[in-house]
Amino acid sequence: MLGANGHPASPLDRVHLGRPAPTSIARTARESSKNFSMLGIFAFVHAGFLGDAARAEVGDYEVDVFPDCLVAKDIPVWQPDPDGTGRAAEVRYTFHVARPLTASFMKVNGENRFAMFASVTPVAECESLSWLTVTMSRRKSFAGFRMW
């Protein structure tokens, strides 16, 4: 499948940039929210961009538990094209789970940053609305950028 620019479609081709708009998903809100934070499946559902089945491992990481959230930090993952430059790299993810159906992550690849916020609204037993907001930067100076 080709994206708008004639290149192979990227996972970002399905993300609304700018004003958030919901996407209807035919699955439970819980499953949708869980899939957002499952790095291990990237190698299969985003093969060629965010993973490769031959290198599907997720490295060791730490989880901090706070009264109002969970933070899984410094999660190492190898990706064949983590930022659209075509250069493979080991990147680091930090996930922030604020509520059962609300989470965000930041991916760090050298000086590049990519962050996504997701919130899921249950509509019916097996139907949900997914709200996604994305930001990224390839700036060399990224001092002070924080997700939370």
User: What is the average pLDDT across 129-139?
Assistant: 81
pLDDT of residue 2: 39
The domains found in the chain, sorted by start residue, are 16-137 (3.90.380.10)
Q: What is the mean pLDDT of the chain?
A: 80
pLDDT of residue 20: 63
pLDDT of residue 18: 55
Q: Is the pLDDT of residue 72 over 50?
A: yes
pLDDT of residue 91: 94
Q: 75-93, pLDDT tens digit by residue? A: 999 989 888 888 899 999 9
Burial 72-102 (b: 16+ CB within 10 A, else e): beebebbbbbbbeeeeebebbbbbbbbeebb
**pTM, to two decimals:** 0.75
